[in-house]
Structures are given as structure tokens and as C-alpha cells.
Amino acid sequence: MFEQIERVPGDAILGLIEAFKKDTNPQKVDLGVGVYRDAQGNTPVMRAVKDAEALLLKNESTKTYIGSHGDPRYGQAVLPLVLGEGSPVLEAGRASATQSPGGTGALRLAADFIATQLPGKDIWVSDPTWPNHLGIFPAAGLTLKKYPYVDAENRLDFDGMLAALKEIPEGDVVLLHACCHNPTGFDLSREQWGQVLEVVKQRNLLPLVDFAYQGFGEGLDEDAYGPRLLAENLDEVIITSSCSKNFGIYCERTGCLIMVAKDNEQMENVRSQVAIVARENYSNPPAHGGAIVAEILHSAELAAIWREELTEMRDRINTLRRDFVEALKPYGLDQKYACVAEQRGMFSYTGLTPEQVDRLRDEFGIYMVRSGRANVAGFSQENLPYLAKAIAAVN
Ligand code: PLP
Ligand code: TYF
């Protein structure tokens, strides 16, 4: 039977990891996969995480199942992180947290929940969006549609986005990136979030907010502006949160599906269905990552260390954004790439064309996604002059 199976290419972003490893250019630069890097190019385990793990190792007394919703201590920690301390949504008991295998697992739970409990609803994603969005929703049986997000001049096309949202059939699902839009780095202003809220209300849309980079844009609370605005002003919102980036626990697969309902009664009904979806996919989520996050967020001391480390990561990225544009000044390219300093999060849509990206790879050993998406955390004070020279050479 297997003789009929066709081989397909692997994930283009993850494929860059292998291609980069094989390259023997001593000056090579990895701007591919979205993983944070420090000034030395490493992705170390955060200190708060190491300390939490030491405590867990000492105190862990069982490895029994943790249940389909995961560790309640994790949910109790993530809800206020995402929705805000003292959030009226939490006070009203309208929000449910389900620990998931990464943000990806939360997205799949959301997709399966929509497919089984809200049949007939299509899902609208930004064009462009994280390529895995394009796979996850159809895999659950949903029809995926796109709204514009970037214009031909590589700027946020908010007018185009809003006009498209106004045309979405009533009741459909719209996926919004909470912050640090992947792949573009273009985020909505507070005023623009307000306008999106109005259209969502008018069209009675169900927002699904993908929140994978909390703390990487402007700050933990600042980055949560959009999801909190929607949750506080709408009866129903779905949020998929990830701890992969902000706790640096990528491989521990730690995420959370947050379901916001009209009241506590409806939330409990929804929650019971989410448990079924989780059970049918993987039964219980992996425990370790959630235990780390719970340990950190329930300890004032560890939480303070973690916030400091996260601030350092965010500040490093935002400084590198400005330094990148500065490094292009001698080549007269600072205006052309000024958007990099304006964008937020791990990624920038640089405006480099696929042909330019190919040349950067082949002639300079600089790796990024062919769309022109660069992982800004791959910049460093050491490689910026080289990057600037290479970009000038392909311009
Ligand atoms: N959503 C977006 C936009 C992402 O960039 C990522 C990153 O990997 C995820 C979700 C999922 O993250 P993870 O499953 O690694 O927690
Ligand atoms: O977009 C990125 O680079 C990150 C990491 O299949 C990632 O979100 C990329 C591809 C993938 C899983 C994670």
C-alpha cells in the first residue's frame, strides 16, 4: 500500500535549520526559525526556568496524569498573565484555561472545538500569516479564508484589513495575532484594535486571538491590549497562548487554550467540550512545561527574575531593530528598511524579495525565510556590519 505514498517537502522554516548547519561559511548568519538568541547567538535556558526546575526535581512526588485541562495551578497562573490581574472577565468567572501542547496544540484544540461545536463557520486569517495556521484549520475540517494585511509597499494595510473584515459573513471566526505578528512584525495600534472590536461586534464575529509572543513587543501588559479589549467587551473570545518564547521552553510544549464565554454557566459548558477535544487528541497534556510556568508565576521571587530576563530579551531585540537601520545608513538604505525599527517582536518583513533572499544565502551565508522574513534576534552587534554590506550588495 505504501508504494502509492508521495514524498512531500518538509517545513520550509524548519528546513532552514538543516541548511544553515551544513553551510561552511564562517561568517554565516541564521535569521530563520523563530527562536530567541542572545548576543552570543545562543538560546540558553532562562535562569528562572532553571531555578524552577531544580525545585520541581526536589519536590515532585508523582508522575500521574494531570487531567485533560492540565495542571490547575498552571491555568490559575496563565489566566491573569493573559487577561490581567483583577480582570473583570476573571472576576465574572467567564474564562476557562486548558493547558495544551504548545500554542500549536491550543490552536488545534480551538480548530477542533469550532469544527465540532460550531459547524459551518469558516476561519479568516491574515495574508500573510504563520504558515502552520494554513495547515491546522483545514486539518480540523475548517474552510480557511484570508484578509489582507500588508500592502505592496510593505506597510500594514489596515484599511484593506478593516474593509475585508466588514465583508466577512456574520458569525465566522477571525484569527488575529495579539502582538508581534508572525511573519510581518506589523502590529495594530490601540486605536486600530478599537476599530477591529467595532467590526467584530457589528458582524457578530468570533475572534480567535493567537498570542504566541507575550512580552516580546512592548511589555507583558502592553502586548495583551488587544486580547484584553476583546475579552472585556465581547461575550465570546478564544485565545491561544504560548509559553514557548517568553519562557524559552520551546521543546517542553507549553501552551494554553483560553475560552471566554458570556457567563460562568456557558463557560463550564464550553469547557466540558474542550476536555473532550483534548482527550480525543492526546488525552492529557505534557506536564513539565506547565509545572515550570506555575512554579515561576506562583513565586514572587522567581516571577521577578523571569520578568527581568524577558525585559532583557525584548530590549535587546528592539535595540537591534534600531541598530540594523543605523547600519544601513552608510549605504543610503536606512529609509528603505526603516520599517524594521517600527515593527515589533521576533520577526520583520524586511521587504527583501525571494531572489534577494536566495542571493544572501548563496553569496553570503545569510539564511531567512524566502518571504523576506528575518528573525531579528539573529542580528548581533558583530554581524550587523556584515549584514548591512550584504544587503547593500543585493540591492
Ligand atoms: N502562533 C504563532 C504565530 C507562532 O509564531 C508560533 C510559534 O511557533 C505558535 C503559534 C506556536 O508556538 P508553540 O506551539 O511552539 O508554542
Ligand atoms: O515561525 C517560526 O519561525 C516559529 C517557529 O513548523 C516554528 O513560529 C516554525 C515552523 C514550525 C514550527 C515552529
Same fold, 10-45+305-393 and 65-298: no
10-45+305-393 maps to CATH 3.90.1150.10? yes
Active site residue 210: yes
Q: Is the pLDDT of residue 90 over 90?
A: yes
Are residues 231 and 87 in contact, defined by beta-carbon separation less than 8 angstroms? yes
Residue of 193, 223, 245, 306 marked catalytic: 245
What span, in angstroms and rounded, lies between the C-alpha atoms of 325 and 329? 7
Percent of the chain with pLDDT over 70: 100
* Nearest Cα residue to atom 5 of ligand 1: 182
Atom 8, ligand 2: residue with shortest CA distance: 34
Atom of ligand 2 nearest to the CA of 183: 1
Q: Is 183's C-beta closer than 6 angstroms to any atom of ligand 1?
A: no
* Any ligand 2 atom below 6 A from CB of 13: yes
> How far is residue 181's CA from residue 186's CA, in Å, rounded to a whole number?
6
- In short, whether 11's Cβ falls inside 6 Å of ligand 2 is yes
Distance CA(311)–CA(367), nearest Å, equals 27
For residue 14, name the pLDDT band (cuts at 50, 70, 90): confident
Of the CA atoms within 13 Å of residue 60, those in its CB half-sphere come to: 15
Q: Which atom of ligand 2 is nearest to the CA of 375?
A: 3
Q: 206-211 and 237-242: which strand pairing? A: parallel
Closest Cα to residue 29, out of 389, 353, 395, 310? 389
| Residue whose C-alpha cell is 504548545 | 102
pLDDT digits (tens, 9 = 90+) for 264-292: 999 999 999 999 999 999 999 999 999 99
What is the predicted pLDDT for the residue at 112?
98
Phi, psi dihedral angles at 159 (to 5 degrees): -60, -45
Please state the rounded mean pLDDT for residues 114-134: 97
Q: In whole numbers, what is the pLDDT of the chain averaged over residues?
A: 97
Cα separations in angstroms, 91 against 83, 197, 263, 264: 11, 22, 11, 10
Residue 158 phi/psi, 5-degree rounding, is -70, -35
Judge contact between 145 and 129, C-beta under 8 A.
Answer: no
pLDDT at 8: 92
Q: What's the rounded Cα separation, in Å, for the pair 93 and 389? A: 55
Q: Would you say 287 and 53 are in contact if contact means Cβ atoms under 8 Å apart?
A: no
Nearest protein Cα to ligand 1, atom 12: 103
Residue 381 CA, ligand 2 centroid: distance in Å: 25
- Are 243 and 210 in contact by the 8 Å Cβ rule? The answer is no
Q: How far apart are CA 359 and CA 357, in angstroms?
A: 5
Task: Assign 12 a pLDDT band (cuts: 50, 70, 90).
Answer: confident
What is the Cα 349 distance to its own chain's centre?
15
Q: Does residue 145 carry a pLDDT above 90?
A: yes
Domain ranges of the chain: 10-45+305-393, 65-298
End-to-end CA distance of the chain: 50
C-alpha of residue 391 to centroid of ligand 1, in Å: 28
Q: Is the CB of 242 under 6 A from ligand 1?
A: yes
Catalytic (active site) residue 245: yes
Give Cβ neighbours of residue 76 (< 8 Å, ≥ 6 apart).
97, 294
Amino acid at 316: R
Question: What pLDDT band is residue 21 in, cutting at 50, 70 and 90?
Answer: very high
User: From the CA of 375, which ligand is nearest?
Assistant: 2
By mean pLDDT, which of 11-25, 64-78, 207-221, 342-356 is the weakest?
11-25
SS (H, E, C) the chain: CHHHCCCCCCCHHHHHHHHHHHCCCCCCEECCCCCCCCCCCCCCCCHHHHHHHHHHHHHCCCCCCCCCCCCHHHHHHHHHHHHCCCCHHHHCCCEEEEEECHHHHHHHHHHHHHHHHCCCCCEEEEECCCHHHHHHHHHCCCCEEEEECECCCCCECHHHHHHHHHHCCCCCEEEEECCCCCCCCCCCCHHHHHHHHHHHHHHCCEEEEEECCCCCCCCCCHHHHHHHHHHHHCCCEEEEEECCCCCCCHHHCCEEEEEECCCHHHHHHHHHHHHHHHHHHCCCCCCHHHHHHHHHHCCHHHHHHHHHHHHHHHHHHHHHHHHHHHHCHHHCCCCCCCHHHHCCCCEEECCCCHHHHHHHHHHHCEECCCCCEEEHHHCCCCCHHHHHHHHHHCC
Query: ipTM of the assembly?
Result: 0.98
Q: Is the pTM higher than 0.95? A: yes
What CATH number is given for 65-298 in this structure? 3.40.640.10
Tell me the pLDDT tens digit for each residue of 318-340. 999 999 999 999 999 999 999 99
